[in-house]
């Protein structure tokens, strides 16, 4: 059983593309092998900045022989048709078999294909994989790039290693792509061990690479970085702020990780931690190091790709200087921004928003801020916030977009606003709103709960939604350039997680949706369905509740849907729905036939059967319980009361025939069915439930 080893050696592959590339290489090659009859035992893919590797264990030495039988034309078909069949099958006339068929005699071809050696199949599969590799972006290079059909790769591909290893030895797979012939040779670390060396199989490859200062497995590099960084920090009484995503990225930037730790110069320690972390993480790919005693970020970890002769002193010194230059910039912006806040306040800082276009049909950012402030004032009483505070918060919440710090580090929007608001002596609730009114930013982002933040966050999102709706810029298909779906989900999560009782239709109109308010509500209902489906609530359950009045109050809507879902999960609920459906069907047929609506009210005096009288009593009791439960919005109690109808309805249908000959009794029973339907429909539109 041969084992296969592939290495595609190139100039530096972007770190963010490596995880996907590993998966793609594994998928393309293993699928290609299996499609061509080569099964395998196990496969694993690896990457470093300069190589993509794949090890496949336990391939057969050749693909199995296959036999295919193909039906051809009738034996009396024109000669041209028969010749065509011979060409297609590669057989001669005497090799065809004649067999009787329903419509006469036909030719049959038996095509035998011998197995092919694994090396030939691997060559074909790998060439295909390289030529069709789904890099997010790929390029041409060198002299070959004069030809438009030149090989494309993520960065110049330098060599291909492709070998099959058996007990008998190593076989280089005969393959040439874009002028590069496959071999058994690779290279070590760019600086520590640049010479080429041959390998005999995967184990040998991994071992030799390690001696050549390359750790092949990215997971091992990441683990080494985490471990070393933790140890180094711990030795100095500090701790590394966990950041697995950054560690994974760093692991994609180095073949031989060497952890170095440095301190942040004292003159920068007063900067907000987010500023320090942004400079370090986004720009330098440093891990942050915290002092557990103070909670302050005081140091950094950088990961070098070499074991430097001086122990990393020059590298650390250089990195510290680069960080100091960045933090000097940040401190300069911070000082300038604080000066602006001290002299002109946040409103002064935000004055320039008038010159920033939000959207050419929706005015400037300043226009938008004014609208949001008005809307926040309207919303405030509905969410328990002071209208003055909410309006004040909205007016300054976007002022930091004009700060120097956010100009340089856009990812700090809102976060800087909060610091500047605190420096301006504004109430903490107002300051928090600067940061939190952007939230929630996605399905898993935290939802603000402070009333002032909630008011501004809602106003911000509703203004965006309503205004874009009003100018006809709605999301379509995959196009949502203004992130309106995210804004919609934001409104939903703000309402639900805070249990807000909002009339979104009114608010959409107040936010300027004008004639599009109903359509915007329908959009929010669609987003709500997606949101609830993720939480396991069936779409027909939501539909049954959407059909009820007050459906622009999402909190009420969801309470009803949750109660209904819980009710349907019970035996009583399931059976009651059956009973309801039966009642509604009989009634609908009768109403259609008779051309009347049986809504005159049933009279217990025409009840003939005890089950009928019992149903009257049960309906009286249920109605008496449902009405107060509904006004108290206690949907569970309303559903319980409805559930009590199950027994009487079942007994009624068992004992009596609705469509009896006695017209009076029949009419009364139909009116009784109408009462069942009406009673149930007060709770939810059960007709919309799927059977």
Partner 1 sequence: MPDTPRSFQDVILRLQTYWSAQGCAILQPYDMEVGAGTFHPATTLRALGPRAWAAAYVQPSRRPTDGRYGENPNRLQHYYQYQVIIKPSPPDLQDRYLGSLAAIGLDPLLHDIRFVEDDWESPTLGAWGLGWEVWCDGMEVSQYTYFQQVGGHDCRPVSGELTYGLERLAMYVLGADHVMDMPFNDPASPIPLTYGDIFRQTEREYSRHNFDGADTGMLLRHFEDAEAECRRLLSFAATDPKAGNRANVMAHPAYDQCIKASHLFNLLDARGVISVTERQAYIGRVRALAKACADAFVTTEAGGGA
Q: Which is nearer to partner 1, 326 or 677 (CB)?
A: 326
Is 481 a binder of partner 1 (CB under 8 A)?
A: no
Of 305, 340, 498, 679, the one binding partner 1 (CB under 8 A) is 305
Interface region with partner 1, contact rule CB under 8 A, candidates 269-277, 328-336, 384-392, 579-587? 328-336
**Is residue 149 involved in binding partner 1 (CB under 8 A)?**
no
- Output the smallest distance, CB 342 to partner 1, in A: 21
Told to check if 317 binds partner 1 by CB under 8 A, we report yes
Specify the stretch interacting with partner 1 by CB under 8 A; choose among 67-75, 187-195, 234-242, 407-415: 187-195
Q: Does 148 bind partner 1 (CB under 8 A)?
A: yes
Of 119 and 254, nearer to partner 1 (C-beta) is: 254
Nearest approach, Cβ of residue 145 and partner 1 (Å) = 4
Q: Taking CB under 8 A as the rule, does residue 318 contact partner 1?
A: yes
- Does 354 bind partner 1 (CB under 8 A)? Our answer is no
Residue 200 and residue 256: Cα distance in Å, rounded?
A: 23
Residues 433-472 that bind partner 1 (CB under 8 A): none
Which of helix, strand or coil describes residue 129? helix
Query: Closest distance between partner 1 and the C-beta of residue 304, in Å?
Result: 4
Task: Provide the greatest CA pair distance for the chain.
Answer: 107
The two structure tokens encoding residue 474: 């709605």
Q: Does 185 engage in binding with partner 1 (CB under 8 A)?
A: no
Question: How far apart are the C-alpha atoms of 622 and 616, rounded to whole Å?
Answer: 10
Q: Give residues with Cβ within 8 angstroms of 189, minimum separation 6.
A: 212, 213, 214, 255, 256, 305, 306
Query: How many residues sit close enough to partner 1 to count as binding (CB under 8 A)?
Result: 53
Looking only at the bridges linking them, the beta strands covering 104-113 and 363-364 are unpaired
Taking CB under 8 A as the binding criterion, the range among 235-243, 302-310, 481-489, 545-553 that sits at the site for partner 1 is 302-310
The binding track of 153-182 with respect to partner 1, each residue x by CB under 8 A or -, is -xxx-x------------------------
What whole-number distance in Å separates Cα of residue 372 and Cα of residue 456?
7
Residues 17-56 that bind partner 1 (CB under 8 A): 17, 49
Applying CB under 8 A, among 92, 294, 343, 360 the residue interacting with partner 1 is: 360
Beta strands (DSSP E) in 388-544 are none
Of 27, 140, 474, 539, the one binding partner 1 by CB under 8 A:
140
What 3-state DSSP class applies to 328?
Answer: helix
Residue 211 in the binding site for partner 1 (CB under 8 A):
no
Binding residues among 562-621 for partner 1 as defined by CB under 8 A: none
Burial grade of 125 (CB within 10 A; 0-12, 13-18, 19 or more):
buried
C-alpha 260/C-alpha 240 separation (Å) is 12
Contact 199, 55 (CB under 8 A): no
Shortest spacing between CB 531 and partner 1, in angstroms: 34
Q: ∠ at Cα 488 (482, 493), nearest 5°?
A: 135
Q: Which stretch binds partner 1 (CB under 8 A): 223-231, 300-308, 526-534, 614-622?
A: 300-308
Residue among 388, 489, 479, 482 nearest 441 (CA): 489
User: Which H or E run contains 234?
Assistant: helix 218-235
Tokens 């006004």: give the residue: 631
For the CA atoms of 632, 638, 639, 643, the dihedral, rounded to the nearest 10 degrees, stands at 160
- Under the binding rule (CB under 8 A), the answer on residue 355 touching partner 1 is yes
Is the Cβ of residue 69 or residue 310 nearer to partner 1 in the bound state? 310
Inter-residue contact 673 to 583 (CB < 8 Å): yes
Pairwise CA distance, residues 394 & 385, whole Å? 12
Query: What is the binding site for partner 1 (CB under 8 A)?
Result: 11-12, 14-17, 49, 137-148, 154-156, 158, 190-192, 253-254, 284, 286, 302, 304-306, 308-310, 314-315, 317-319, 321-323, 325, 328-329, 332, 355-357, 360
């Amino acid at each position: 059983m041969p084992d296969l080893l592939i290495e595609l050696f190139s100039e530096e592959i972007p770190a963010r593309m490596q995880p996907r590339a590993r998966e793609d290489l594994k998928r393309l090659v293993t699928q290609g092998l299996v499609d061509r009859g080569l099964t395998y035992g196990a496969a694993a893919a690896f990457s470093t900045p300069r190589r993509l590797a794949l090890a496949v264990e336990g391939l057969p030495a050749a693909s199995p022989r296959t036999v295919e039988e193909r039906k051809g034309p009738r034996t009396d078909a024109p000669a041209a048709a028969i010749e065509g069949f011979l060409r297609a099958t590669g057989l001669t006339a005497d090799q065809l078999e004649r067999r009787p068929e329903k419509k006469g005699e036909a030719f049959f071809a038996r095509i035998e294909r011998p197995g092919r050696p694994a090396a030939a199949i691997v060559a074909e599969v790998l060439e295909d994989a390289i030529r069709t590799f789904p890099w997010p972006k790929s390029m041409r290079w060198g002299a070959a790039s004069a030809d438009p059909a030149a090989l494309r790769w993520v960065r110049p591909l330098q060599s291909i290693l492709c070998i099959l290893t058996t007990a008998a030895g190593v076989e280089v797979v005969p393959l040439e792509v874009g002028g590069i012939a496959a071999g058994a040779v690779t290279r070590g670390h760019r600086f520590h061990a640049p010479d080429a060396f041959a390998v005999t199989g995967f184990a040998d490859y991994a071992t030799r690479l390690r001696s050549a200062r390359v750790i092949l497995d990215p997971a091992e590099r990441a683990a080494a970085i985490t471990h070393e960084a933790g140890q180094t920090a711990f030795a100095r009484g500090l701790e590394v702020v966990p950041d697995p995503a950054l560690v994974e990225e760093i692991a994609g930037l180095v073949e031989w990780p060497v952890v170095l730790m440095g301190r942040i110069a004292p003159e920068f320690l007063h900067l907000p931690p987010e500023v320090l972390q942004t400079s370090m993480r986004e720009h330098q790919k440093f891990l942050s190091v915290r002092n557990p005693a103070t909670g302050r970020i005081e140091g950094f970890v950088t990961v070098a790709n070499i074991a430097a002769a001086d122990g990393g002193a020059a590298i650390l010194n250089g990195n510290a200087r680069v960080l100091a230059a960045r933090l000097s910039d940040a401190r300069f912006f911070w000082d300038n921004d604080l000066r602006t806040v001290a002299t002109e306040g946040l409103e002064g800082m935000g004055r320039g928003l008038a010159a920033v276009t939000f959207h050419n049909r929706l005015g400037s950012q300043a226009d938008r801020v004014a609208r949001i402030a008005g809307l926040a004032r309207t919303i405030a009483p509905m969410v328990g916030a002071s209208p003055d505070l909410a309006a004040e918060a909205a007016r300054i919440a976007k002022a930091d977009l004009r700060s120097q710090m956010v100009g340089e580090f856009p990812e700090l929007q809102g976060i800087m606003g909060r610091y500047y608001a605190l420096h301006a002596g504004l109430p903490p609730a107002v300051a928090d709103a600067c940061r939190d009114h952007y939230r929630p930013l996605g399905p898993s982002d935290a939802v603000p709960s402070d009333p002032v933040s909630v008011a501004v966050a809602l106003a911000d999102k509703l203004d965006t939604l309503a205004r874009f709706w009003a100018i006809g810029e709605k999301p379509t298909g995959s196009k949502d350039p203004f992130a309106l779906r995210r804004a919609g989900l934001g409104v939903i999560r703000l309402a639900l997680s805070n249990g807000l009782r909002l009339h979104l239709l009114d608010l959409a109109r107040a936010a300027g949706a004008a004639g599009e308010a109903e359509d915007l509500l329908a959009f929010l209902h669609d987003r709500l369905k997606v949101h609830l489906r993720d939480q396991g609530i069936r779409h027909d359950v939501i539909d049954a509740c959407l059909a009820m009045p007050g459906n622009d109050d999402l909190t009420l809507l969801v309470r009803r849907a949750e109660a209904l879902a819980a009710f349907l999960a019970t035996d009583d609920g399931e059976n009651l729905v059956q009973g309801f459906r039966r009642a509604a069907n009989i009634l609908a047929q009768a109403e259609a036939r008779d051309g009347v609506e049986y809504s005159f009210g049933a009279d217990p005096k025409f009840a003939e059967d005890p089950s009928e009288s019992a149903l009257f009593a049960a309906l009286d009791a249920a109605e008496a319980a449902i009405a107060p439960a509904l006004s108290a919005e206690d949907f569970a109690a309303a559903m319980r009361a409805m559930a009590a109808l199950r027994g009487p309805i079942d007994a009624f249908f068992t004992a009596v025939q609705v469509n009896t000959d006695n017209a009076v009794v029949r009419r009364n029973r139909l009116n009784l069915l109408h009462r069942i339907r009406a009673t149930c429909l007060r709770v939810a539109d059960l007709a919309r439930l799927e059977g």
